[in-house]
Amino acid sequence: MPIAARHIKDPLPQLAPLAGLRVERTFDAALMGQLQGRRVDEMLERFGYGHRAFVAWHDGAPAAFGWAAMTGASIGELGIQFEVTEGDAYLWNFVTLPAFRGLGIYPRLLDAIVTALGAEAERFWIVYAPENHASGAGIRRAGFTNLAELSFDDDGRAAVRALIPGGATAVGQMLGVTETSGDLSLCWRCAREGNFDAACVSGRCSCDYQRKELGCAGAAG
C-alpha cells in the first residue's frame, strides 16, 4: 500500500469547483454511524479519542465521508498502531457512496480537510491499499505525493520501501515498521489471504479494490 503526504506549504492542487458540493466537519455520531453501517457508540469512541469527522454533501445528500486522526491511529490490515506526531494529521476511513462515484468528490473532500485543519496541522498523511487504484488517483489529484510503499514482505511482515529518497525513513519512524529494499506485496487482499507467492510481488497481481469479482491473483496461481 502506498503512503502519501501533503504539506500545508505544497502547491495547491488544480481542482475546479464542483457544483452542488460542500464539505463540512460533523460531530453527529448518529449520522456517521448511519453512513458507515456502524454503531453510534463506535463513532462516539472515535470522537472521544480526538478523531475529526468530515462529510461531503452533493446537492444536499451525503456523498462521501472521512476521518482525520490527530493523536493516534491504527492500520488494522497491517496490525499497526501508532502515535500521530504533533503538527501532523493522519487521514483515514474514506468512502464515497456508490451513487456519487466518478464525480471527483474524493480529491475535493481531501483538499477541503487539509484547508480546514491547516491551523492545527502542517503535514497530512494518508494510506491506501495498492489494489485500490481509484483511491490512489484521487489522492494524487488532491496534491499528495507518494513517499513509500507500505505493505507485507514475503514473510508476511509489515515493511516499508522508499518511493522517493528518504520517504521510507520518515514513514518507518512514524509507524514503527522496518525499512526494506526488497519486494512487497502488491495487494492487501492477497496478503490477508496468505498469498505471498511471486504473482503478488512481481507486478502481475490483477486484484482491484473496486472489482471484487477479479479474485486473488495469488490464489489463482
Q: Return the higher-pLDDT residue of 201 and 5.
A: 5
What pLDDT shows up at residue 157? 81
The average confidence (pLDDT) of the chain is 86
Q: What is the mean pLDDT of residues 128-135?
A: 71
Q: What is the mean pLDDT of residues 104-119?
A: 97
What pLDDT shows up at residue 36? 95
Quick one: which of 9, 23, 15 has its CA closest to 58?
A: 23
- Write out pLDDT tens, residues 161-172: 999 998 888 888
3-class SS string, 121-189: CCEEEEECCCCCHHHHHHHHHCCCEEEEEEEECCCCCEEEEECCCCHHHHHHHHHCCEECCCCCCCCHH
Cβ atoms of residues 75 and 177 within 8 Å:
no
Least confident of 9-18, 167-176, 197-206: 197-206
What pLDDT shows up at residue 183? 80
pLDDT band with cut points at 50, 70 and 90 for residue 218? very low
pLDDT band with cut points at 50, 70 and 90 for residue 125? very high
Percentage of the chain modeled with pLDDT above 70: 81
What pLDDT shows up at residue 205? 59
